[in-house]
């Protein structure tokens, strides 16, 4: 059956109405009234490029090699969803309101710009649906920093509000932006679909933080940036809730292979969302883009060159050059249990050691793609 993949950039779990009843998306809720919902999905990173690389390969960042926003290539020999579809003559189309953010990635050429105006974008997607692809991927940007601020920059108006202690105003702007995406873009598109024919997956790629060391995302691996909502619909299935205690973004890839009937030799860590699996560990990694902010003084402190986290159903271990800490998974309460920490370290090492790609050489940097990506990050205000 054909699959519609809808990625809402920066949509944290508690921004979705089914996770937070105070949120109101009436048109979207009506369009997804029969959909299933999972509140136990963890992402693989806190930035757009590494997460989407995981979505399309079923691999963790340490395996596919896109550890942060400035990594330009997948490691050699990694097959992604668009390539699989092309080889098996299954048309796959992609659209993004920020297509340049994928510059240099192996699947970037498959993702065309989507008009940011809802009516124009919907017209593009109607034409794409009429082409009857096997996969239609759409990446929405409206809930991403700076949430519609007039200056359009991450280190601009929104950051000034945070430094003045006006977090509630920032959150309000963010939730309004997320609502606009759901109500004026997602809902009208979903209303065009025949639910008896199309499978649908709707998810956030990562969340937002609004903390002193992470005003937005991409600096830490705390739950506010790793926990994202997942809506799903599989025709004729009744949309049963996954029975596993936790899901990872890498689990969507083998699920898509099954739903689409694609043949491949997937050997990654992901497991079909509706299959059983042993508990953990689950992983996330991020190379922070720049120094972290001190919202009180306006100064910046050096970031760790690489942060990684590993967790099971009860505990999460986070490790970087500035130290390591263990916490209870959902409460984020710090705990001291060396045996649990050692087990999570060993589990991560074992997973990566067994990976056919994690130990491979880095690909050559694509200089042109790197330049385009850096310019995009400057335009957004993440680089100066």
296-339 pLDDT, tens digit per residue, is: 666 666 566 899 999 999 999 999 988 999 999 999 999 999 99
DSSP helix/strand/coil, 82: helix
DSSP-derived letter for residue 249 is: G
Asked if the structure places residue 227 within a domain, the reply is yes
Asked if the structure places residue 284 within a domain, the reply is no
pLDDT at 210 over 60: yes
pLDDT at 361 over 60: no
Residue 203 vs residue 375, higher pLDDT: 203
- What's the pLDDT score for residue 326? 98
The mean pLDDT value for 354-379 works out to: 74
The mean pLDDT value for 94-123 works out to: 95
Asked if the structure places residue 294 within a domain, the reply is no
- What's the pLDDT score for residue 44? 98
- What's the pLDDT score for residue 322? 81
- What's the pLDDT score for residue 375? 82
Q: Model confidence at 200, in pLDDT bands (50, 70, 90)?
A: very high
| CA 55 vs CA 260, 278, 379: distances in Å | 15, 21, 26
Give me the number of domains the chain comprises. 1
- What's the pLDDT score for residue 6? 98
The mean pLDDT value for 14-26 works out to: 95
- The percent of residues in the chain predicted with pLDDT above 70, rounded, is 94
Pairing status of strand 292-293 against strand 307-311? unpaired
pLDDT at 365 over 70: no
Give the integer Cα–Cα distance in Å for 253 and 377: 28
Nearest by Cα to 15 from 36, 49, 39, 34: 39
Give the integer Cα–Cα distance in Å for 28 and 25: 5
- What's the pLDDT score for residue 291? 64
The mean pLDDT value for 189-218 works out to: 94
Give the integer Cα–Cα distance in Å for 187 and 370: 35
The mean pLDDT value for 356-369 works out to: 68
- What's the pLDDT score for residue 41? 97
Secondary structure element (H or E) that encloses residue 238, with its range: none
pLDDT at 192 over 80: yes
DSSP helix/strand/coil, 58: coil
Asked if the structure places residue 226 within a domain, the reply is yes
Q: Model confidence at 356, in pLDDT bands (50, 70, 90)?
A: confident
3-state secondary structure the chain: CCEEEEEECCCCHHHCCCCCCCCCCHHHHHHCCCCEEEEEEECCCCCHHHHHHHHHHCCCHHHHCCCCCCCCCCCCCCCCHHHHHHHCCCCEEEEECCHHHHCCCCCHHHEEECCCCHHHHHHHHHHHHHCCCCEEEEEECCCCCCCCCCCCCCCCHHHHHHHCCCHHHHHHHHHHHHHHHHHHHHHHHHCCCCCCCCEEEEEECCCCCCECCECCCCCCCCHHHHEEEEEEECCCCCCCCCCCCCEEHHHHHHHHHHHHCCCCCCCCCCCCCCCCCCCCCEEEEECCCCCEECCCCCCEECCCCCEEEEECCCEEEEEECCEEEEEECCCCCEECCHHHHHHHHHHHHHHHHHCCCCCCCCCCCCHHHHHHHHHHHHHHCCCC
Q: Structural domain of residue 154, as residue ranges?
A: 3-278+357-380
Residue 212 vs residue 317, higher pLDDT: 317
pTM: 0.94
Asked if the structure places residue 100 within a domain, the reply is yes
Asked if the structure places residue 314 within a domain, the reply is no
C-alpha 239 chain-centroid distance: 22
Which segments within 163-314 are labelled E, that is strand? 199-204, 227-233, 247-248, 282-286, 292-293, 300-301, 307-311
CATH number, residue 161? 3.40.720.10
The mean-pLDDT minimum among 220-224, 310-314, 369-373 falls in: 369-373
Asked if the structure places residue 167 within a domain, the reply is yes
Asked if the structure places residue 349 within a domain, the reply is no
**Tokens representing residue 235 in the block:** 């025709």
- 236-249, pLDDT tens digit by residue? 999 999 989 999 99
The mean pLDDT value for 144-173 works out to: 89
The mean pLDDT value for 101-125 works out to: 95
């Amino acid at each position: 059956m054909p699959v519609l993949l809808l990625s809402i950039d920066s949509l944290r779990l508690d921004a979705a109405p089914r996770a937070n009843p105070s949120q109101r998306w009436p048109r979207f809720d009506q369009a997804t009234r029969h959909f299933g919902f999972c509140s136990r999905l963890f992402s693989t990173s806190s930035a757009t490029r590494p997460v989407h690389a995981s979505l399309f390969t079923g691999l963790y960042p340490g395996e596919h090699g896109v550890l942060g926003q400035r990594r330009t290539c997948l490691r050699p020999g990694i097959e992604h969803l668009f390539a699989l579809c092309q080889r098996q003559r299954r048309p796959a189309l992609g659209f993004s309101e920020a297509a340049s953010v994928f510059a240099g990635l192996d699947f970037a050429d498959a993702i065309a710009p989507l008009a940011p105006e809802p009516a124009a974008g919907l017209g593009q997607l109607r034409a794409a649906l009429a082409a009857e692809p096997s996969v239609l991927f759409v990446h929405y940007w409206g809930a991403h920093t700076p949430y519609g601020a007039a200056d359009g920059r991450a280190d601009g108006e929104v950051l000034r509000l945070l430094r003045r202690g006006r977090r509630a105003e920032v959150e309000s702007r963010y939730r309004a932006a997320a609502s606009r995406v759901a109500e004026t873009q997602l809902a009208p598109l979903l209303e065009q679909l025949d639910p008896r024919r199309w499978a649908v997956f709707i998810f956030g790629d990562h969340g937002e933080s609004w903390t002193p060391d992470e005003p937005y995302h991409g600096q830490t691996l705390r739950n506010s940036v790793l926990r994202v909502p997942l809506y799903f619909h599989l025709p004729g299935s009744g949309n049963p809730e996954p029975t596993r205690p936790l899901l990872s973004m890498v689990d969507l890839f083998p699920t898509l292979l099954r739903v689409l009937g694609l043949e491949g030799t997937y050997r990654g860590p992901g497991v079909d969302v509706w299959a059983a699996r042993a508990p953990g560990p689950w992983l996330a990694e991020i190379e922070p883009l720049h120094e972290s902010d001190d919202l009180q003084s306006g100064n910046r402190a050096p970031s760790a060159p690489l942060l990684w986290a590993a967790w099971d159903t009860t505990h999460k271990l986070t490790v970087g050059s500035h130290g390591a800490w263990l916490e209870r998974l959902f409460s984020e309460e710090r705990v001291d249990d060396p045996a649990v920490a050692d087990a999570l370290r060993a589990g991560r090492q074992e997973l990566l050691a067994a990976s056919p790609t994690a130990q491979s050489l880095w690909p050559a940097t694509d200089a042109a793609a790197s330049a385009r990506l850096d310019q995009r990050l400057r335009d957004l205000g993440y680089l100066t």
